[in-house]
Structure formats: C-alpha cells, structure tokens
Amino acid sequence: MPIRDQTTWTDDDVLDAAARWSWVPDGSRVAEGELTIIQRPAWVGGHVAVERTPRGRAAAELVDEAAAVAREWGDVALEWALADRDDPALAAELEARGATVIERLDVLARPLPADPAPSAPGVSARRVASREDVIAIGAINAAVWGNAVPSEERIAQVLEEERRGAAEGTGFRVLATLDGEVVSTGGVTLAPGPRGTVARLWGAATLEGARGRGAYRAVLAERLRLSAEHGATLALVKGRIATSAPILARAGFRRVGGERRFRLPL
C-alpha cells in the first residue's frame, strides 16, 4: 500500500529517496562517478564505502573499480551498501571474493505530520543548541557507536552545522534528557525528494542504562515534529532490524525495503 498524505508517495518514490541518501560528514573524501565512494573522517571509524551503485555494469568490473580506489586511499577493507533492488549479481560477486554481511537494515517510512506522542515520566526532548549539548551527545555516540569523543575542532564543526542547518532549514540534531541527564540523541537532514521534502532520520543512539524508558521515543517524536514544521512530508529512516526497527513500526513507520552492508577485506 502506498504511503499517503496530501501527496501520495509510492513505494518506488520512497526507495528512490532512500537510494539518493548517502551520509557525507564534513571532512569526508568522495569519489563521484557512476559509483559513489566515500572515505569518512577518522572520528567516524569504518572503512572506505560504496554508497551508490549504478545499474547495467558487470559486477566484477564494479568491485575491481571500487577496490582500486580503496587501496589507493590506503584502506585494508571496502564496505558496500546494497539495497534489495540492486543487482543480485553484485552481492554474489562480493561474497565470492570473501565479503561478509556486517549489518542489515530496514528502509522504513511514514507520512508527515505525525500525531503528537505522549512523553514518558522524567523525559523531555529538544534541539541541540550549545557546546555542552554537543559534548553530551558526543559522549553518547562514543559509547553506542564507538565514535571518537569529539575534539574541540569537532565540537566547533557540529555547532557550525547546527547554526547553518537552522539558518538554511537543512537539518538539525535533537537530544533527550531523563531526569535531567542527556541520554539519547538523533539527527535529521532535510532533502528534496520525488514528491516533496524528505526528513532523513539518522544517528539515533541511547545510553544502555536509559533504554526502555522513553528517551528514544522522545527523540523520534521531536524529530518528526520539527521536520513537519520545516515542510517535510515524508520521514525516512534506515533502521537496524533488531533494535530501532520495532520501535519505529510502533510509531507508524512501514517497511518499504531493506539494505545490507558488506565488508570485503582487500
């Protein structure tokens, strides 16, 4: 069934919007061509990654091309994001060369605006706005994702991103507090899509001791509310099947497709 609001988003529209989505943080190295190949900055971790794959080319040729770039950039492994509708020959080629699946994601979406969600006791959510906020969410991302604790340079970069996002209407970060302590965070990028503005939800993380107490739901609800205020008509997220996907389903998101991330040793 299509996702319906004032403008009808078909499943193909949603998948097209998902295919356009590549995370390119400041400081990334990007090779733009038929393949989109990204080397993200050291604070992110991970390896050189292929985030967008063309159709109609031989799988072996594509893997050779991407592997050559990764080696040139000094990496020892190559990651590759493949959507369900990508050529199955590419997954077979990666596996034949020794690649393994390191992550499985659901592509989920829901129309905006969303109905207001009740807050759990002791939980509140708001937009990231200060240096202290950036330090707090940096500590969460380090604990949950293994990111580096933000340096002074990175703190300044995030504050500038938030200032620019507010001025240009291109995105924002949100945090949630539980009994006054910052315990959860998540971001949004606002981008054009096939049928209107898309709110790309990313980077949701909650400290382990605070899970199951409503902080993640508060971050989600605030992101949906602010996204609708900025004119977004669709919320889109790539959620981990075992963790965030069930919560997103309860919040009205519907699975439209899937994605696997492979890692190939070089």
Confidence label for 3 from pLDDT (cuts 50, 70 and 90) = low
At residue 41, the pLDDT reads 86
At residue 201, the pLDDT reads 97
At residue 1, the pLDDT reads 46
How far is Cα 131 from Cα 152, in angstroms, rounded to an integer? Answer: 10
Q: Which CATH superfamily is domain 113-230 in?
A: Gcn5-related N-acetyltransferase (GNAT) (3.40.630.30)
Residue 265: pLDDT over 70: yes
229, HSE (Cβ side, Cα atoms, 13 Å):
12
How far is Cα 75 from Cα 62, in angstroms, rounded to an integer? Answer: 17
Could you tell me the pTM of the whole model? 0.88
DSSP type of residue 128 = -
Q: Are 259 and 107 a contacting pair, CB within 8 Å?
A: yes
Residue ranges per domain, the chain?
11-106, 113-230
DSSP type of residue 3 = B
Q: Are 257 and 18 a contacting pair, CB within 8 Å?
A: yes
At residue 32, the pLDDT reads 83
Residue 4: pLDDT over 70: no
Residue 5: pLDDT over 60: no
Q: Are 258 and 222 a contacting pair, CB within 8 Å?
A: no
Q: Are 197 and 233 a contacting pair, CB within 8 Å?
A: yes
Q: Are 102 and 79 a contacting pair, CB within 8 Å?
A: yes
Residue 246: pLDDT over 90: no
Backbone angles phi, psi at 18, to 5 degrees: -65, -40
Q: What residues contact 210, with CB distance under 8 A and at least 6 apart?
A: 178, 181, 183, 184
Determine the residue type at 242.
A
Nearest to 188 by CA among 197, 179, 178: 197
Q: Are 66 and 37 a contacting pair, CB within 8 Å?
A: yes
The pLDDT tens digits for 127-168 are 999 999 999 999 999 999 998 999 999 999 999 999 999 999
pLDDT (average), residues 199-218: 96
The pLDDT tens digits for 60-102 are 999 999 999 999 999 999 999 999 999 999 999 999 999 999 9
